Structure 1
Amino acid sequence: MADEIAALISSIGLPTEAVIVLCIMAVIIVGAIVVIITSRPILDIYPYLNPSARVRARKGRLFDEKQIGELVDSNDIVEVENYLKGSPDYADALEDYPLDKALDVKGAETYDFVARLAPKEVKDSFVVMAKKTDINNIKSLIIAKDMGLGVDETRDLLIPYGSLYETINSLADSDNITDIVAGLDTTEYASALEDALPKYEDTGMILPFEAALDNYYLDRLLGSSDVPADENRQIIYSYVGTKVDVANLKLIIRAKEDGLNYEAISPYILEKGYQLRDWKLKDLMESNDVAGVISGLEGTKYAEVLVDALSQYNDDGSVAIFERTLDIYLAEHAKTLANKKPLGVGPIIGYLSQKETEIKNLKIIARAKREMGFPTSKIMEMLI
């Protein structure tokens, strides 16, 4: 065998040393390819190791069913506040703010935390989610000015988070809403607010501002992950896309409950969704009533869960059952996605969704406990 190899080398006409060098190079190249192939999964996982560890640590501080049950069973709002002051996750905020604002502060802090730790390839979507704080602060500023609140009362409504907090806070002493819009003319929200200003001036209603900001947010959110190049981005796209669909559905259902037609609804809908595309949204907005919206969802993943809620709506006439059902669906969808990619973006989505749900539930409990004799069973029905 050795003689045959030697004869082959001789027939090529290359010096033995050159052949040895070529062989070594071939071995190195093959080895490098093997290393790249075998290390690729590790390289994909590596950016998520630290973020996953950090969100899992915070996840351990989330309230479990037993703790939520204890809050539901509390006698009044004072007991709720005292209970939360014993939680390391809420104690600091409750030292500085009333309960409702403390919950909003913790929500804003959570978005900020996740946006900062998310790996580069999925960071855009979480950064957009964190913009919700600025948007809510702008809304609060406009609402306060519309209600004629003073500077201190207005600033009490603002959440001390977000990239524009200082700017928004400085506008609390503006003379009118037009001045607020002018004061935000260098921000990314300028175009949305300027487009809504004529409608406000015509109607005297601030709804166009709220709708313009919501549409801007949802559009940016959907666009932040619309090129799902790998599994992590596919999961993000599914999560944010479902959030957009849920927001659109809530608005359409509530509008149909109020008897609004397509022309009245369409300015407030983001007419590009995830599963609900523009033509489907148009069909839903043209439905005659709430039942028509639900039947129009046939063939989508939202149909089955909302059909089950339709009978309760027919009994009590409240669209709140649909909103709660959609919130539960979104939370369950996030849980599924979290389990799908436990060594990637999954834990981040799972924690964020669970924290959102926890804060919503705490707000429900707080509102209920402010009403004397509010039934515990009714609170449980309202929780997500």
Structure 2
Amino acid sequence: MADEIATLMSSIGLSPETFIAVCVLAILVVGAVVVIITSRPILDIYPYLNPSARVRARKGRLFDEKQISEMVEANNVEEVENYLKGVPEYADVLEDYPLDKALDIHRADTYDFIARLAPKEVKDSFVVMSKKTDINNIKSLLTAKEVGLSPEETKDLLIPSGSLYKELNSLVDADNVTDIVTSLDGTEYATVLEDALPEYEENHMILPLESALDKYYLGKLLHSPDVPSDENRQILYSYIGTQVDADNLKLILRAKEDGLSYDDISSYILADGYQLREWKLKDLMDSPDVTNVISGLEGTKYAEALTDVVPQYNETGSVAVFERALDVYVTEHAKSLSSKKPLGIGPIIGYLSQKEAEIKNLKIIARAKREADFPNSKIMEMLI
């Protein structure tokens, strides 16, 4: 064997020292490839280790079915509030604010928390989600001015959170809606509001301004992830895209119930949706009625969820049953996504979705408990 190697070295003109150097180099190259291949999964997981641990700690404090049932059984909204004051996550904020505002603040704090801890590769999407607080505050400010609320009443509507809170709070003395829109020049929302302002000034309805903000938010959200090149970003894109489709469907269902055409609402729809593209959305809007919109979804992942509640719609005549079904679907979809990448983005999406559902449910319970003799069984049907 040694003679054969010596002959080979001689035939290609290599000295023994050079041959040994080549062999060592080859071993190093192969070793480096092996290290890269074996370490890649660890490198993918590492950025999510700390965020996942912190999210799991909070997830353990989410309300379970028993706790939600206990609040549903409360005699009034004061008992619900007292129950929440015994929960550390809600206690502090309830000391300073009324229940509904406290829930909004807690939700805003949750989105800020996730935006801060999210790994760099997916951070942009969660930063966009946290901006919903600013958008809701702008809507509240516009609504307050349109209905003529006082500066004090207007200030009470604003959530003391978000990057624009101080600026928006300084606008509670503005004379009218137009002044507010022009005062927001220099913010990222200026262009979309200015584009919708002529329609508001013509009809004196703030719907065009609110819808422009919603469309801007959904567009930013849908395009916030990079090209889904890895599983974490694919999961995130599915989570975001499903939210966009659900919001588009809610808009179409409400418009169809109000007898509007596609042209009436096309400027408010985010045409480049996720599974439901512009041609499909237009096809749904061309349906003669709400039930035909639902049947037109056959073949999409939303069909079964909405078809199941058609009997409820036929009984109540309210598209609210479809809106709830879409909220439930988005929550369940997020839950399924959370299990796909337990050492990646999964726990973050799972916690955020469940916290959003928890706060929505608490708002439903609080609203129902303000009405005398509201049936507990009806509250349970309304929960997400």
Cα shift at 1:41: 0.4
Partner of 1:298: 298
Partner of 1:56: 56
Cα shift at 1:92: 1.0
Partner of 1:89: 89
Q: Is 1:349 aligned with 2:328?
A: no
Percent sequence identity over aligned pairs: 74
Alignment of 1:68-83 (within 5 A): 68-83=68-83
Secondary structure, aligned partner of 1:90: helix
Describe the superposition over 1:250-281 as per-residue Cα deviations: whole angstroms up to 9, x where unpaired. 11111211222222222222222111100010
Q: Is 1:179 aligned with 2:179?
A: yes
Structure 1 CA distance, aligned partners of 2:273 and 2:377?
Answer: 36
The 8 Å contact of residues 134 and 162 in structure 1, kept in 2 or not, is answered as: yes
Give the TM-score normalised by the residue count of structure 1.
Answer: 0.98
Describe the superposition over 1:130-183 as per-residue Cα deviations: whole angstroms up to 9, x where unpaired. 111110010011111112112222111111111111111111111211111111
Partner of 1:210: 210
Structure 2 CA distance, aligned partners of 1:160 and 1:40?
Answer: 42
Partner of 1:230: 230
Secondary structure, aligned partner of 2:308: helix
Structure 2 CA distance, aligned partners of 1:11 and 1:280?
Answer: 70
Structure 1 CA distance, aligned partners of 2:78 and 2:101?
Answer: 15
The 8 Å contact of residues 105 and 160 in structure 1, kept in 2 or not, is answered as: yes
Cα shift at 1:210: 0.3
Give the TM-score normalised by the residue count of structure 2.
Answer: 0.98
Cα shift at 1:11: 2.9
Secondary structure, aligned partner of 1:318: coil
Secondary structure, aligned partner of 1:344: coil
Structure 2 CA distance, aligned partners of 1:22 and 1:179?
Answer: 76
The 8 Å contact of residues 265 and 285 in structure 1, kept in 2 or not, is answered as: no
Cα shift at 1:226: 6.1
Cα shift at 1:27: 1.1
Structure 1 CA distance, aligned partners of 2:286 and 2:264?
Answer: 10
Q: Is 1:129 aligned with 2:129?
A: yes
Secondary structure, aligned partner of 1:299: coil
Cα shift at 1:305: 1.4
Partner of 2:164: 164
Alignment of 1:1-384 (within 5 A): 1-225=1-225, 227-384=227-384
Secondary structure, aligned partner of 1:89: helix
Secondary structure, aligned partner of 1:224: coil
Secondary structure, aligned partner of 1:367: helix
The AA in structure 2 aligned to 1:36 is: I
The AA in structure 1 aligned to 2:87 is: S
Matched length: 384
5+ long unaligned stretches in structure 2: none
Structure 2 CA distance, aligned partners of 1:176 and 1:321?
Answer: 36
Structure 2 CA distance, aligned partners of 1:170 and 1:286?
Answer: 44
The 8 Å contact of residues 266 and 285 in structure 1, kept in 2 or not, is answered as: no
Cα shift at 1:111: 0.8
Structure 2 CA distance, aligned partners of 1:131 and 1:36?
Answer: 38
Secondary structure, aligned partner of 1:260: coil
Secondary structure, aligned partner of 1:168: helix
Cα shift at 1:14: 2.3
Cα shift at 1:331: 0.5
Moved more, 253-262 or 114-123: 253-262
Structure 2 CA distance, aligned partners of 1:128 and 1:154?
Answer: 25
Moved more, 323-332 or 251-260: 251-260
Structure 2 CA distance, aligned partners of 1:322 and 1:50?
Answer: 38
